[in-house]
Structure 1
Amino acid sequence: MEEVSILDEDQCWNLLSESVMGRLALAVNGEPEIFPINAYAHDGKILFRTGEGTKLSEIAVNGRCAFETDGFTSKIGWSVVAKGTARILTGTQEIMAADQLPLKPWIPTLKLNYVEIDVEQITGRRFRFGDEPDRYPV
């Protein structure tokens, strides 16, 4: 295994679908912001719930976003980045369908808004951990 391997789209979606925690990157008032979120990935989309606040307000103005998730063991690590457009679900049918998904808030707060990211690009890498090579080989 090479130190860094590029993952194909199917590998990226597989890792993304098994992950429950990630980071949402948005531009808030023209400045980059990153928010930890729990999410659910399926059918080329990523879904998360949120309460009223910065994330929801910014998505209403500018839905362009990125979502990153990763994982690691003592020997390997991986990272998947999905880029796309987020939209707040508003239709009764789509909200009812989202309610059936295994997506619940992790903390005891009301998160009444569903947001869906339509993924346009997904990339990923796998890393093999090891000692740093000798900087000054003999």
Structure 2
Amino acid sequence: MEHVTDRHALEVLSTAESLRLLGSRPLGRLAYVDRGAPSIVPVNHLVDGHTVVFRALHGAKSDALLMGRPVAFEVDDHDPSRRVGWSVLVRGTATPVSDEEARRFAAELDSWAADTAVRHTIVRLVPDEITGRRLRERTEALVTQDQGPSDL
């Protein structure tokens, strides 16, 4: 099977494959700007259509997320012994979900907070861009096509 690759010989994943992989792991990393500094935190998430849904504890993180600024979310996996892996990056804007949606998602989303009484907001990341790359074993056939800079 032939695969389209970027200039770094990484397979370029379709949006559908990127979303499938994004939903295959429960934990990802959320990147946002908090008080002028970049922050990256692990969050449990769900894929809902083309969006990512997660919990944000009330406070600085939820305040920073809901200011309409760009955020990013990344999920990956790798096998260092075989030197294979993949990475999916979602860039977009975070918005709070409706109360009805929050009740539905709250039951499905695990929380990192030890205290289950801690208040949180259920947040939806609406993507402007979804990109995915995969590093395959070198024995597989590849077709090179420059897709621009890689995020891996």
Coarse TM-score class (shorter-chain normalised)? 0.7 to 0.9
* Matched residue type, 1:113: T
- Alpha-carbon spacing, 1:58–1:107, altered in 2? closer, same or farther (3 Å): closer
Q: Does 1:5 align with 2:5?
A: no
- Alpha-carbon spacing, 1:71–1:31, altered in 2? closer, same or farther (3 Å): same
Partner Cα distance (2:119, 2:36) in 1: 25
Q: Does 1:82 align with 2:90?
A: yes
Q: Does 1:120 align with 2:128?
A: yes
Structure-1-length-normalised TM-score: 0.80
Structure number with the bigger relative contact order (C-alpha 8 A, sep ≥ 6) is 2
Runs of 4+ in 1 over 6 A off after TM superposition: none
3-state SS, counterpart of residue 102 of structure 2: helix
Q: Which runs of 5+ in 2 are unaligned?
A: 139-152
Partner Cα distance (1:61, 1:13) in 2: 25
3-state SS, counterpart of residue 49 of structure 1: strand
Q: Does 1:55 align with 2:50?
A: no
Count of residues paired in the alignment: 128
Residue of structure 1 equivalent to 2:28: 22
Conserved? CA contact 1:23–1:37, under 8 Å: yes
3-state SS, counterpart of residue 23 of structure 2: helix
Structure-2-length-normalised TM-score: 0.74
Instruction: State, as a whole percentage, how many aligned pairs show the same letter.
Output: 30
Partner Cα distance (1:51, 1:18) in 2: 24
Quote how far apart the aligned CAs of 1:84 are: 1.0
Quote how far apart the aligned CAs of 1:85 are: 0.9
- Alpha-carbon spacing, 1:112–1:32, altered in 2? closer, same or farther (3 Å): closer
Q: CA RMSD in A?
A: 2.1
Q: Which runs of 5+ in 1 are unaligned?
A: 131-138
Quote how far apart the aligned CAs of 1:70 are: 0.3
